Structures are given as structure tokens and as C-alpha cells.
Amino acid sequence: MITWLQVPAVAGPVATDSASTDRDVTPRTSSPWLDLAPSEVLEKHAQLPDTDEEVVKPDHKATSVLTLAGLYAGFTGWTYLAWYRKHKPLGYFKWGGDGWFGPETYAGGADKGGHAWATMGLGRMGTELLRWGGYDRWTSAIIGVGLSEALFFGVEVKDGFFYEFSYSDLFGDTVGAALAFAFEMSPRLDEMFDYKVQYWPSHQYIEKLDGSSPCPSGGCSKFNIAEDYSGETYLLAFHLSSIHSLRDSKYYWWTRYIDLAVAYESRYYKPEPNASEMLTPHQNAFIGVTFDAQRLCDELFKNHSTTRKITHGLFEIFNVPFSTLPVIKGTRYPAGTINTGGA
């Protein structure tokens, strides 16, 4: 996309007289616009050719479609292992929901953040894969995000036969799809914000891996890392590096590695802790600061394109564990019995 934008901006008559050699001519590889979203935001760096020949975009459409199909097949297989293989079907279809962010809901509301994050991440991954294949931005975003929303709608339908069809989960999926589409279509918005998860395996999930978990119905699978809510924190992060005057200043350059974050998490809801541990489920919400590893890796690996793209995509949706400092924090505890649920 950057190549396509640059060509018409720098194209034009070039002076051939001897006087032109004394002028400061802007190189063809420089950006022709001022302070718009920098190219590192979407990893669309490209070098212009040395001639005025038409730029030929790579065409890997078949490869990108097959890779995307393989990605969805693998994800679908994982959902079976994680959520359905060891859970007995209800024998009927159950409509309803498992609540929103109430303190008595089975996951304390963290599952809604997880649904939004997973749909967004899968949508963005599919979009970028199709763009690499040669599809235009609009087509890639529509297909990539649409497939992600369709997949999680299918998950909710299947949940209706095993758990229950949750309207609130579907709402979370739709929020994630909307975020993915907005980030893909607006480079400036993508430069300013990220929605990501900070994860470290909880003690309860490690017990599940070694077989010492109480393992209630439907929660036995060691593959069910998605519902390790006690190890997950969901953050909406604002990059201070998106304030260009601050990022490029002499004294406040360090702010480019700092994000302001609004975060939410639940603890000791799911996986269920052993009764002997006497742990009280609770919800935390806070405003704080966190480390922007994406920006650091972009700079460290600026001369290593493949490594840079991998780390950029990784830290687009994941936050470094233990890198967030709450400044203003609130905690809420359930007043009654916690509901059961899952997926």
C-alpha cells in the first residue's frame, strides 16, 4: 500500500539540466506526506524500484487462501479438544446467556473480554494474510473479519447444544470484529490503540496440566487454556508514541515505550481453585501504565524484516507478562453464589 501511495506522489518531470545536480532532491524512498500514520504501524514498508516501471504487486492469492483455510481448520480442531470432547451434550438446544460482567457470573465477565480479543486477533490475522496474498485492503478486511465473526457465531451455535447460546458472548465477538475492521481500515487508529491480553499461566491451570485439578464437568481438558481467566488481563492500550511531538522530543523520547492502559481481569473464578485453598473470586479494573514491547522490537529489528514483522504482530495482541503497573484500581467481590458455565 505504501508503494502504491508513493509512486504518484514522487512521479513527475525530473530536471535533466546540470543545475539540477546542485539541488536537494528528495530520494524516491522517502515518505511524500507529512505527519500521517507512520509506515511501521501496519508493517507495510516497501522500497520503490530504481526505474519508472510499473510496480507489480506479488500475487500469492491461492497460497494465502489455503493457509487461511488451514488456520481455521486448526482452530476448529482446538475448540473441539478444549471445549467439547470431554463435555456431555445437553440433548437439546439451550437459549439464554451467562450474564455480562456481574460478580456472580461464572468467569466474572473476563470471558467477554476473551471473546472480543479472540475474534479481533483472528480477524486481523486473516486480513493481513489475505493482503500478503495480493488482495486489496477492503476485500481483505471484509473477508478476514467476516470469517472470524462467522466462526465464533458457529461456536455459539454449538455451545447451545453443550452449554448454552450466549447473547453476551456473541456481543463480545461482534465488538472484537468491529475493532479488527476499524484497526485495519484506519492506520491512525491502529497507531494510537491496541487491544491485547497479558497472560501468565495461573496456579489453577498448572494443576489442570499435572492432573491435580478438581476438574468439574467440561473443565477437564488440558487444551482449554482459553478459559484460564485467572491468568489473563485484558488491556485497551493507548500508545504515547502516537503523540509524535512527544515521541520525537529531546527529553521525553522514552515515552515512546510507554502505554496508558485501561484493564480488566477476574481472579479465582475459572479454573475453579481447590476448596482447601480458600481463595475468594474477585474482579479487578484499573487504569495504569504498561511497557510497549512492540515499539522496542520495531526499533531493535528495523534491519531484520522477518523478525520485525513477527514481533510486531505478536505484540499487537499480546502484552509482556508482569509489565503493567496499576495506578487507579477497583476490586469487586461476589455477594452470592457464582453461576456455572463455560465456553
Does residue 137 contact residue 68 with C-beta atoms inside 8 Å? no
pLDDT band at residue 213, thresholds of 50, 70 and 90? low
Task: Say whether pLDDT at 40 is over 70.
Answer: no
Q: How confident is the model at residue 264 (pLDDT cuts 50, 70, 90)?
A: very high
Band of pLDDT at residue 215, cut at 50, 70 and 90: low
Check if the beta carbon of residue 201 is closer than 8 Å to that of residue 141.
Answer: no
More confident residue, 52 or 197: 197
Conformational region of residue 12, where left means phi above 0, alpha means psi within -120 to 50, and beta covers everything else: left
pLDDT value for 339:
82
Task: Find the range with the poorest average confidence among 11-25, 163-177, 318-332.
Answer: 11-25
- DSSP per-residue string spanning 171-216: HHHHHHHHHHHHHHH-HHHHHHEEEEEEE---HHHHHHHHT-S---
Distances (CA, A) of 260 to 27, 80, 280: 36, 37, 29
Report how far residue 263's alpha carbon sits from residue 271's, in angstroms, rounded to the nearest whole number: 20
In DSSP notation, 126-151 reads: HHHHHHHHT--HHHHHHHHHHHHHHH
pLDDT tens track for 324-343? 999 999 999 999 888 877 77
Mean residue pLDDT across the chain: 84
- Can you give the pLDDT at residue 164? 93
- pLDDT at res. 102: 94
Collapsing DSSP to helix, strand or coil, 168 comes out as helix
| 33/149: higher pLDDT | 149
State the DSSP code for 337: P
Dump pLDDT digits (tens) for 1-23: 433 433 443 444 444 443 333 33
Q: Which three cell numbers stand for residue 277?
A: 485453598
pLDDT at position 212 = 60
Q: Where are the domains of the chain?
A: 58-332
- The more confidently predicted of residues 97 and 247 is 247
In whole angstroms, give the CA distance from residue 334 to residue 232.
19
Instruction: Inform me whether the pLDDT recorded for 26 exceeds 60.
Output: no
Quick one: average pLDDT of 266-275? 90
Residue 83 in this model has a pLDDT that exceeds 60: yes
Band (57; pLDDT cuts 50, 70, 90): low
pLDDT at 136 over 80: yes
Contact 238, 192 (CB under 8 A): yes
Side by side, the strands of the sheet bearing 258-267 are: 318-319, 193-199, 232-239, 258-267, 282-291, 324-332
pLDDT at position 340 is 76
What are the phi and psi torsion angles at 67 (to 5°)?
-65, -40
Its sign, for the CA torsion 247, 252, 256, 258, is negative
- Find the mean pLDDT for residues 58-66: 90
CB 214 within 8 A of CB 272: yes
The helix/strand/coil state of 269 is coil
- Cβ atoms of residues 103 and 334 within 8 Å: yes
Q: Tell me, what amino acid is at 69?
A: A
**What is this structure's pTM?**
0.82
Note the pLDDT of residue 143.
Answer: 97
